[in-house]
């Protein structure tokens, strides 16, 4: 069994990151997937989007994206709408651990125990950082970007559900237009690109909710919407035993969602307790980009 070490303070975590991540990060620049061409996307009389066009390495301009989706009417809303990636395409025994840092009131803290565990156990993971969390933890965001086992994803500028009609989730009002969707994605996209030196590849909306039109807009802007297969900590509210149970029951190819901004939660303890069983089952941990492809 893997022993759970004494909790790290935030200060000791930052000092450790400063010393431990001195080696250069291995980054792969990936051209963002997007709709080919520059003409507005044709939308049927009912407002339904056509089948997903082929990918192109060059994202269109913001003005083109706004024109392309003007008048588009969404017909889906939730955690796994069309255009959302929810599992790995080549599962084998792979698992993708993803952790959200949501920011905002009560959400800008750092789970130092969790980040310390990832570092000690050398666990690859994708961290979805919200713009507000980055504002509160700019130095740590830079340190995380320098860890070759860590990939940074986009968790939005204001942590809003992604909608073109103002849909809400868990009492949080979503974006209300194509323009607001673009701002929610692109402002933090540029911030992360400044931090890491490469454009972020993956986007997770605030609350993980979106509609299919918003998901298509994200794709046009060069990212892919990522949901999840396994809810690993229910917003860091699960006790350690339930976190362990959720993780050890994950099927190969699962994308696990959990949180790294709630130090009072039991996410770190649950993950530490699950690791021996997961390794015994033969699971390999990967970042989303390291998984090869998502489905």
Question: Domain 92-295 is of which CATH architecture?
Answer: Alpha-Beta Barrel (3.20)
Q: Which helix (H) or strand (E) holds 184?
A: helix 178-196
Kindly tell me the burial class for residue 96, based on how many C-beta atoms sit within 10 Å of its own C-beta (0-12, 13-18, 19 or more): buried
pLDDT of residue 91: 76
Q: What are phi and psi of 243, to 5 degrees?
A: -60, -45
Q: Return the structure tokens found at 185.
A: 């994605």
Q: How far apart are CA 232 and CA 115, in angstroms?
A: 16
pTM of the predicted model, to two decimals?
0.83
As a residue count, the chain comes to 295
Residue 285, CA distances (Å) to 115, 235, 282 in order: 15, 21, 10
Interstrand relation of 172-173 and 168-169 (parallel, antiparallel or unpaired): antiparallel
pLDDT < 50 stretches in the chain? 1-12, 14-55
* Segments making up each domain of the chain, as ranges: 92-295
Q: What is the dihedral of CA 181, 187, 189, 191, to 10 degrees?
A: -160
pLDDT of residue 178: 97
Q: How far apart are CA 78 and CA 168, in angstroms?
A: 10
Number of Cβ within 10 Å of residue 237's Cβ equals 14
């Amino acid at each position: 069994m893997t022993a759970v070490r004494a909790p790290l303070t935030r200060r000791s975590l930052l000092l450790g990151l400063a010393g431990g991540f001195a080696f250069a990060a291995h980054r792969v620049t990936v051209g963002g997937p997007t709709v080919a061409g520059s003409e507005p996307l044709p939308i049927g009389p009912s407002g339904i989007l056509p089948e997903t066009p082929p990918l192109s390495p060059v994202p269109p301009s913001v003005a083109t994206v706004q024109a392309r989706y003007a008048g588009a009417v969404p017909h889906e809303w939730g955690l796994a709408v069309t255009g959302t990636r929810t599992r790995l395409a080549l599962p084998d025994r792979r698992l993708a651990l993803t952790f959200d840092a949501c920011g905002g009131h009560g959400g800008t803290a750092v789970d130092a125990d969790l980040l310390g565990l990832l570092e000690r156990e050398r666990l690859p993971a994708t961290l979805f950082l919200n713009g507000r969390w980055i504002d509160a933890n700019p130095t740590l965001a830079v340190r995380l970007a320098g860890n070759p086992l860590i990939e940074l994803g986009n968790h939005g500028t204001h942590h809003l559900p992604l909608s073109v009609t103002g849909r809400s989730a868990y009492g949080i009002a979503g974006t209300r237009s194509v323009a607001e969707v673009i701002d929610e994605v692109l402002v933090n996209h540029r911030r992360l690109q400044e931090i890491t030196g490469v454009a972020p590849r993956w986007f997770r909306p605030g609350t993980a909710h979106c509609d299919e039109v918003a998901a298509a807009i994200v794709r046009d802007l060069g990212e892919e919407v990522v949901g999840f297969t396994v809810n690993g900590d229910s917003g860091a509210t699960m006790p350690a035993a339930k976190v362990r149970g959720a993780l050890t029951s994950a099927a190969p190819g699962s994308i696990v969602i959990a949180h790294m901004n709630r130090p009072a939660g039991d996410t770190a303890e649950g993950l530490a307790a699950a690791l021996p069983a997961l390794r015994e089952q033969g699971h390999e941990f990967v970042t989303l980009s390291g998984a090869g492809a998502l489905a």
